[in-house]
Structure 1
Amino acid sequence: MQAAAWKAFRVVLMSSGALVLLAALLFLAGNAWVLTQTQGRIERTLSQCGPEQVGIVFGTSHWTRSGVRNPHFDARMGAASKLIRLGRVRHLLLSGDNRTRFYNEPVTMWRELRERYVRDEDMTLDYAGFSTFDTLVRARDVFGVERAVLVTQAWHLPRALFIADALGLEAVGCAARTARVDGQWRLQAREWAARVATLGDLYLWGREPYFLGPFEPLEIAPPVWELPYGRERE
């Protein structure tokens, strides 16, 4: 009796181990697929990004949980304002989370970019960019974007570009350079998991955006080549 129980236990243990190994292999393969499909379209020098009509800026919190300014937010705003100033993009789609009246990523980005001398007419706010997927679906279906520069951190760009490809958007990535910060490994680990989840969203369970709304194509204003530089923060 004990021998039979031990044999059954060994079978269960081996099966569990095989499943864990299979899951690990699928996890690594999913990440490798996303990375190999997108790495060649990520530019790390702002002056080489674009040129394109539209830059999509992905929202993030202005502050960290510890109560200090979020360096990832600052890097995205710095990159977006410089792309406008250099003429590498003509219009910014600021897409972020606005689930409650107490938290509004698009308006925070808009205020910050105004301080960096980006004109109001060069910005459109998307209040329903609750996720990377939602931002890109809405860019295509609500704002009529067909081609864009995606502005975010380098570790986020592979997933964003992969989603854009699946949606039929012609996109390139522009990496907002951020100094390494404490706990960044947690962000990157979550991003590895998010890439695998994205494959499920796109190819298994047919994810839909949280909210779409009416068609509102972007209005791109004529460029102005001379902007004040005085107080702009790099």
Structure 2
Amino acid sequence: MKRRWRRAAGWLTALVLGLILLTLVLFGAANLWVWAATRDRLVADATLCPRLEVGIVFGTSSRMRSGVPNPYYHARLDTAAELWRLGRIEHLLLSGDNRSLYYNEPVTMWRDLLARHVPRSAMTLDYAGLSTFDTLVRAREVFGVEQAALVTQPWHLPRALFIAQAEGIDAYGCAAMPEQAGVDRYVSLREWFARAMTVGDLYLWHREPRFLGPKEPLLLD
């Protein structure tokens, strides 16, 4: 009897270890796929991004949980404003979360870009960009974007570019570099998991955005 239990326990242990190994392999393969498929579209110096009509700015909180200014947020807006001033981008699509009267990423970005001297006519707000996935699907399906510069941090760009390519957007990643060096370990680890989940979203369970709505093509000059 004891031999049977030991044998069963051995098989169970082997099965669990095999599943863990398979998960790690798939996890690594998904990340490698995302990185390899997008590395040629990521421009480290945002001012060297190709000239495109539309730039998509991804929303995030303007402040950290501690209350200090969020360097990622300000880097995205500084980069977007600079690209507009240089004529690299003609129109900015500001996409973010609008979960309540007291938290509105698109409007906050809009106000702060006005303060950076970007005119109202050069900005469109997307209030239903609840995630990177939702932002890019809506950019294509709602706002009719076919080509775009994606403005966000380098660690975020591979995933954003991967989704854009899958949704039929000819995109380049314009890296927004915060003044503080390095990437938070939690942010880096979370992004590794997010890339793997993105492969599943696109090719396994065929995720849909939470909101789509009627088409609203961007008014470009």
TM-score band, normalised by shorter chain: over 0.9
Is 1:153 aligned to residue 167 of structure 2? no
Identity %: 56
> What is the CA–CA distance in structure 1 between the aligned matches of 2:102 and 2:208, rounded to whole Å?
25
Contact 2:140 2:146 in 1 (8 A): yes
Residue 95 of structure 1 pairs with residue 91 of structure 2: no
In the alignment, structure 1 residue 70 sits paired with structure 2 residue 70 = yes
CA distance in 2, matches of 1:46, 1:8: 57
The 1-side partners of 2:88 and 2:55 are apart by 9
List runs of 5+ in structure 1 lacking aligned partners: 222-234
- Deviation of the 1:131 alpha carbon: 0.5
**What is the TM-score normalised by the length of structure 1?**
0.92
What residue is the counterpart of 2:190 in the other structure? 190
Question: Is the 1:76–1:151 Cα contact (8 Å) retained in structure 2?
Answer: yes
Worse-superposed segment, 173-182 or 149-158:
173-182
Structure 2: distance between partners of 1:50 and 1:220: 18
Of 38-47 and 122-131, the range deviating more from structure 2: 38-47
SS for the counterpart of 1:217 is: coil
Unaligned runs of 5+ in 2: none
- How far 1:183 moved relative to its partner? 7.0
TM-score by length of 2: 0.97
User: Does the CA contact (< 8 Å) of 1:121 and 1:220 recur in 2?
Assistant: no
Correspondence 1:7-46 to 2 at 5 A: 7-46=7-46
In the alignment, which residue of structure 2 is the partner of 1:217?
Answer: 217
CA distance, structure 1, for counterparts of residue 216 and residue 7 of structure 2: 65
1:83-131 deviations in Å (ceiling 9; x for gaps): 0000000000000000212110000000100000000000000000000
Measure the CA separation in 2 of the matches of 1:129 and 1:137. Answer: 9
1:169 corresponds to:
169
Q: CA deviation at 1:51?
A: 0.3
Q: Considering only aligned residues, what root-mean-square deviation do their CA atoms show, in Å?
A: 1.1
